[in-house]
Amino acid sequence: MDLGLNNKIVLVTGSSRGIGLAIARGFLEEGSKVILTSRDKIELDKIKDDLSKTFPSENIFARACDFTLKEEISVLKDWIIETVGELDILVANVGSGKSVSDPIPSYENFERVFRLNFDSVVDTVRGFYPLIKESRGCILFIASIAGIEAFGAPTDYSVAKTGVIAFSKNLARKIALEGVRVNCIVPGNIYFKGGTWEKQMEAEPERIKELIKKTVPMNRFGRPEEIADAALFLCSESASFITGVCLIIDGGQTSTLY
C-alpha cells in the first residue's frame, strides 16, 4: 500500500529512542523527510549518523530541543522554517512516566510531571500549528493507557495523559474544517532497549512475566514498530477521513476492564 508519505516533512518530538525513534524510522522508510529531536545533542547526532547508513542523509534532520521550554520550541520552529521551509506532520511523543507512588503527589512533583507530559504538548502544538495549518497536514499525539484507566501508574502521569487524550479530541473537532486531522495513539506496555520495562525485567523477571500474563490477553509486550505502523497509517493519505480517533494498542489489556 502506498501511504502517500514520500517527501512529507515530519517532526517527531522525543525521537531518540523507543516509540519516537521507531516512528521516525518508519517515516524514513516511506521516503519522508524527518526532523529528529531530543534534549541530548550528542545522542541525537549519533542517531542521525546511524540512520544515514540506511536512509538518504538529505532526508534526515536533527535538532536538540527541550519541549518543556517555550523559547526552545520557538527556536526550533524558526530553524525548521529556515532549513526545510514547511511542516506537514507533527508527532507529539515527548513524555515520561517517572514519578512518585504518592496518591496525591506534591505540588512540585505534579507540576514537573504535568510540564513534561501535558504542558509541553500544548506548547508544541501552539508553536507548530500555523505550519501544519498552512500545509493542511496532521497532528498525532502519543498518550498512554494510563490516561484511560487506573493501573497503578503514578497519579500525576496518568492525569497528564488523560489531558493529552482530551486535548487531541477537542482539537480534532475544532480544526477539522481547516483541513487538519488530529489523532491520538494510546500504547500499552511497550518494550525497548533502555526503556522502563527492560530495567524492570532485569530486576524482577519472574514478577514482570507473571504481571504481563495476568493483565495482557496476548501475553506479551508490544514493540515500538507496532506503534510506528499505526502512526504512519494515521498520518497517511489512506487515513484521510480519520480524525479525532483515540487508537488503543495494548494487546487487549484494557478490553478486559469493561
Each residue of 163-183: b (16+ CB within 10 Å) or e?
bbbebbbebbeebeeeebbbb
Per-residue pLDDT at 258 exceeds 60: no
**Distance, CA of 182 to CA of 102 (rounded, Å):** 33
User: Domain residues of the chain, as ranges?
Assistant: 9-192+223-252
**Distance, CA of 165 to CA of 83 (rounded, Å):** 31
Cα-based angle 62, 66, 67 (whole degrees, multiple of 5): 100
pLDDT band at 31, cuts 50/70/90?
very high
**Distance, CA of 123 to CA of 68 (rounded, Å):** 8
149 φ/ψ sector (left φ>0, alpha ψ -120 to 50, else beta) = beta
Order of strands across the sheet that contains 181-187:
60-64, 33-38, 9-12, 89-92, 138-142, 181-187, 246-249
> What was the pLDDT predicted at 107?
81
pLDDT band at 99, cuts 50/70/90?
low
Active site residue 129: no
The model carries a pTM of 0.94
Note the residue count of the chain.
258
> What was the pLDDT predicted at 228?
98
Answer CATH for 9-192+223-252 from 3.40.1210.10, 3.40.50.2300, 1.10.1740.10, 3.40.50.720: 3.40.50.720
> What was the pLDDT predicted at 198?
84
The residue annotated as part of the active site, out of 107, 129, 157, 191, is 157
